[in-house]
């Protein structure tokens, strides 16, 4: 049951992340590494869900961990008062915080699923 929940969350999270990233950047694709990492997260998580069945937990853990690191960086860089990057509005910051929370939940679910096997 935990594995199924983790796979559903990974699939939904990946699709939503890809769509939101495209909508945010449509017409003004800024500095490439800032949006390429989000698409790498999408690819890794979807590979973990649909392609790698034998090493699924490892690939999912890699995807969730990478997502947590990216979202942590994005959130706290924008919360820093002396940041050189452009400031994001509060709705985007709440979305990044939600993405970080989902990523941490994904890590926990993957580790619980690994312990149950």
How far is residue 31's CA from residue 39's CA, in Å, rounded to a whole number?
14
pLDDT of residue 26: 82
Tens-place pLDDT, residues 38-74? 999 999 999 999 998 888 889 999 999 999 999 999 8
pLDDT of residue 90: 80
Listed by start position, the domains of the chain span: 2-116
**Burial 22-54, CB ≥16 within 10 A → b, else e:** eeeeeeeeeeeeeeebbeebbebbbbbbeeeee
Other Cβ atoms less than 10 A from the Cβ of 13: the count is: 22
* Residue 81: C-alpha distances to residues 63, 76, 93, 98, 103 (Å): 29, 10, 14, 21, 25
Between the CA atoms of 94, 96, 101 and 104, what dihedral angle is there, to the nearest 10 degrees?
A: -170
Write the Ramachandran bin of 27: left for phi over 0, alpha for psi from -120 to 50, otherwise beta.
left
pLDDT in tens, 8-44: 999 999 999 999 988 887 877 777 677 789 999 999 9
């Amino acid at each position: 049951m935990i594995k199924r929940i983790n796979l559903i969350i990974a699939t939904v999270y990946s699709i939503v992340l890809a769509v939101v990233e495209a909508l945010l950047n449509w017409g003004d694709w800024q500095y490439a590494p800032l949006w390429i990492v989000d698409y790498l997260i999408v690819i890794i998580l979807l590979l973990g869900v649909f392609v790698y069945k034998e090493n699924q937990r490892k690939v999912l853990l890699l995807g969730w961990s990478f997502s947590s690191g990216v979202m942590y960086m994005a959130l706290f860089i924008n919360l820093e008062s002396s940041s050189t990057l452009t400031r994001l509005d509060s709705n985007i910051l709440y979305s990044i915080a939600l993405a970080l929370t989902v990523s941490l939940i994904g890590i926990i679910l993957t580790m619980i699923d690994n312990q149950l096997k």
